[in-house]
Amino acid sequence: MTAVLTVVCLALQTASPAADTAEVHVKRAAAFEQKRDYDGAIPELRRALELEPDSVEAHGMLGEALLARGYSAEAIPHLERAQRLDLLGIALTEEHRTAQAIEALLAALQKKPNDPELLFYLGKASGFLSKKSFDRLISSSPDSARAHELMAESDLAQQQFANAEREYRKALDLRPDLRGVHLALGLVKLEAGNLDEAETEFRAEVKLSPGDGEAAWRLGSVLLEKGRTHEALVELERADKLRPQMIETLYDLGKASALENHPDAAEKAWLEVIRLGDTSELAASAHLQLSQLYRKQGKLAEADGHLQRYRELEKGKRPN
Same structural domain, 186 and 301: yes
DSSP code at position 262: -
Number of domains in the chain: 2
Q: What is the pLDDT of residues 110-159, one digit of tens each?
A: 999 999 999 999 999 999 989 889 999 999 999 999 999 999 999 999 99
pTM for the model: 0.74
Residue 2 is predicted with a pLDDT of 53
Residue 315 is predicted with a pLDDT of 87
Confidence of residue 319 (pLDDT cuts 50, 70, 90): low
Same structural domain, 183 and 313: yes
The CATH number that applies at residue 296 is 1.25.40.10
Specify which of 96-100, 226-230, 314-318 reaches the highest per-range mean pLDDT. Answer: 226-230
DSSP string, 174-209: H-TT-TTHHHHHHHHHHHTT-HHHHHHHHHHHHHH-
DSSP code at position 319: -
Higher-scoring residue by pLDDT: 7, 86: 86
Residue 70: how many CB atoms within 10 A of its CB? Answer: 11
The whole domain housing 58 covers 18-134
Q: What is the pLDDT of residues 203-227, one digit of tens each?
A: 999 999 999 999 999 999 999 999 9
Same structural domain, 93 and 197: no
Q: What is the pLDDT of residues 219-251, one digit of tens each?
A: 999 999 999 999 999 999 999 999 999 999 999
Same structural domain, 24 and 97: yes
Stretch 274-289: mean pLDDT: 94
Same structural domain, 205 and 101: no
Residue 2 lies in a domain: no
- Domain C-terminal end among 99, 134, 169: 134
